[in-house]
Amino acid sequence: MEKKTNFGVIGLGGRGCGNLREFLDIPGVRVAAVCDKYEDRAQQGVKIVEEKTGEAPEMYLDYKELLKREDIEAILCFTTWITHARIATDSMRAGKHVAIEVGGAASIEECWQMVRASEESGKFCMLLENCCYDRNEMALFHMVKQGMFGEVVHLEGGYRHDLREEITSGRENRHGRLFNFMHRNGELYPTHQLGPICKLIGVNRGNRMLTLCSMTSKSRGLNVYLRDTKGADYDITEYPFNQGDVTTTMIRCANGETITLHHDCSLPRPYSRNYVIEGTRGIFQENSHGGEYFLDTMGEKGREPQFYPFAEDIEKFEHPLWKKYQVDGVHGGHGGMDFLVMSAFVDSVVHHHQPPIDVYDTAAWMAVTCLSEQSAAMGGMPVPIPDFTNGMWIDREPYHRGIFCLEEVCMDYFEEEKQ
C-alpha cells in the first residue's frame, strides 16, 4: 500500500471545505485531523473527509491542540486573513510545515515571526498563491523566461472583483472580509497578481521589492449596494466603511521594475486580475477574453503595432507543467490552479525540499497589505518594504528543480524529461 503523509487542515469555511475536497484527491495525502473554531464547520470537515476516504479524521476546535499531534507532518490553513500568520508561525514552532491560504498581513512583525519560525525550526511556510499556477500565468512565465518579452520593465495587476454581496453578508456567512472593509483601508488582497509578478522578475532571488506608495479612493460602493439590496433600515447600510473602493499601489524593485496594483472589490464590475507585462520586446495584457499580446517579432514595418488574442496562441507557449497537466487531466477549482498549488505543497512535504513559494516570498507578498495601509494613511508616502531575506536575495540560488518550481532553471526538469 502507498505510504501516506498525515496532514491537518485548519479553517473549514466555504473556501476551506472546497480546498479540502480537492486536497484529498492528491495522491499520498491523508487528512488525519481537521479544526475550526466553529463546531458546525469542523463537523463539516469531518464529513467531507469521511465521505471521500471512508476514514474519519480527528476533530478539533482549538488549532493549538491539533498542533500537538506528533503524527501530523504538515498543516493547511484556510482561516481568515488575520489569523494566517499566527497559525503559520505556531505550526512551524510545533515542528510542522505549513501552507496558508492567501490574504495580506496585518503587521510587519507577524511577517518576521513567520520568517524567524521557519529559519529556527527548519520547517517551511508556503503561501498557497494559486494564481502562480494558472495556465495563462504559467505560459507567460515560460515566455518571459525564454526572453520573448525582452527585459521586463513594468508590470500591473489587480484584484478587481465585485464582492459586494459577499462582503455585506459577512455576518451571516461568517466571512472576515466585512470587518476588514469596515476597519482597514488599503491593498487588502495583493497576492493574486503580485505573486506571479514577483516570480516573473525574480523577487527574493536577485531582485527585491524596495518601496511602495498607496492611495485609496473614497468609499461609496458598499453603501450604495446596501441601500439597493438591504434597504435603508438595515443596520450597516449607512456604516462609514473605512476601505476605499479602489486602492492603487505602486511598487519599485531593486532592478528598476515598477509594479502597479489595483484593489477593487466594492463596485459593480466584471472580474479581472488586470495582468500587464511590459518588456523591451513585447507586451501582454489581460482582457475579458483571457488576454492579448504583441511581440516585436510580430510587427510589420510601417504598420502600427496591434494586439493579438492570447487565447488563440497559448498552446504555442504552454508551460511544460501545464502540458503535462492537460495530458494527466485538469482537476478541480479555479481552472485547475488550486489543485496544482496544493500539489506543489504536498510535493515539497513528501520529498523534503523547499517549496516553490517559501517563507520569504510569503512574508514579502503579504507585507504589502499593512505597508499599503500605512502609505495610504500618510497620503501616498513611500514606505520601505522589508528585506525578509536579510540580504540573502542578492545571490540566492533557486531552491530545487522539481516539477512545480517557479524559478528559471526549473525548465531543465522538463528538458531532461523530454530526452
Question: Min. distance of Cβ 166 from a second copy in angstroms?
Answer: 13
Cβ proximity to a second copy: between 63 and 149 the closer is: 149
Among residues 16, 103, 282, 336, which is the contact residue for a second copy, using CB under 8 A? 282
Cβ proximity to a second copy: between 11 and 157 the closer is: 157
Residue tagged 503580485 (cell numbers)? 194
By CB under 8 A, residue 334 contacts a second copy: no
Q: Which of residues 154-183 bind a second copy (CB under 8 A)?
A: 154, 162
Among residues 68, 171, 183, 220, which is the contact residue for a second copy, using CB under 8 A? 220
Question: Min. distance of Cβ 314 from a second copy in angstroms?
Answer: 17
Among residues 24, 59, 182, 215, which is the contact residue for a second copy, using CB under 8 A? 215
- Looking at 30-38, 49-57, 118-126, 378-386, which segment touches a second copy (CB under 8 A)? 378-386
| Binding track over 111-150 against a second copy, x by CB under 8 A | ---------------------------------------x
Among residues 28, 95, 290, 305, which is the contact residue for a second copy, using CB under 8 A? 305
3-state helix, strand, coil in the chain (%, to 5): 40, 20, 40
Question: Min. distance of Cβ 151 from a second copy in angstroms?
Answer: 5
By CB under 8 A, residue 216 contacts a second copy: yes
Q: Which grid cell is 45?
A: 470537515
Mapped to the 3 state alphabet, what secondary structure does 11-29 carry?
A: CCCHHHHHHHHHHCCCCCE
Q: Which of residues 252-271 bind a second copy (CB under 8 A)?
A: 252, 255-258, 260, 262, 264, 267-271
By CB under 8 A, residue 414 contacts a second copy: no
Burial class (CB in 10 A: 0-12, 13-18, 19+), 23: buried
Number of residues that bind a second copy (CB under 8 A): 55
Q: Which helix (H) or strand (E) holds 325?
A: helix 320-328
By CB under 8 A, residue 343 contacts a second copy: no
- Looking at 13-21, 49-57, 131-139, 285-293, which segment touches a second copy (CB under 8 A)? 285-293
Cβ proximity to a second copy: between 28 and 299 the closer is: 299
By CB under 8 A, residue 330 contacts a second copy: no
Question: Min. distance of Cβ 60 from a second copy in angstroms?
Answer: 36
Q: Helices (H), strands (E): how many in the chain? A: 15, 15
Q: Which of 71, 70, 136, 123 is nearest to 93 (CA)?
A: 123
By CB under 8 A, residue 373 contacts a second copy: no
By CB under 8 A, residue 236 contacts a second copy: no
Cβ proximity to a second copy: between 62 and 151 the closer is: 151
Terminal CA-CA length for the chain: 31
Question: Min. distance of Cβ 51 from a second copy in angstroms?
Answer: 27
Among residues 211, 242, 354, 374, which is the contact residue for a second copy, using CB under 8 A? 211
Q: Which of 54, 47, 50, 97 is nearest to 76 (CA)?
A: 97
Q: Which of residues 63-92 bind a second copy (CB under 8 A)?
A: none
CB-CB contact of 187 with 260 (8 Å): no
CB-CB contact of 140 with 277 (8 Å): yes
DSSP structure class, residue 272 = B
Q: Which amino acid is at 172?
A: E
Half-sphere exposure of 174 (CA within 13 A, CB side): 13
Q: Which residues of 210-228 are buried (b: 16+ CB within 10 A; e: fewer)?
A: eebbbbbeebebbbebbee
By CB under 8 A, residue 287 contacts a second copy: yes
CB-CB contact of 219 with 376 (8 Å): no
CB-CB contact of 246 with 129 (8 Å): no
Cβ proximity to a second copy: between 38 and 271 the closer is: 271
Residue tagged 477593487 (cell numbers)? 264
- CA torsion angle 101 104 110 112 (round to 10): 90
Among residues 12, 127, 246, 370, which is the contact residue for a second copy, using CB under 8 A? 246
By CB under 8 A, residue 300 contacts a second copy: no
DSSP string of 356-369, one letter each residue = SS-HHHHHHHHHHH
The CA-CA-CA angle for residues 211, 136, 317, to 5°, reads: 115
| Chain residues that interact with a second copy, rule: CB under 8 A | 150-151, 153-154, 162, 211, 213, 215-218, 220-221, 224-225, 244-246, 248, 250, 252, 255-258, 260, 262, 264, 267-271, 278-283, 287-288, 292, 294-296, 299, 304-307, 378-382
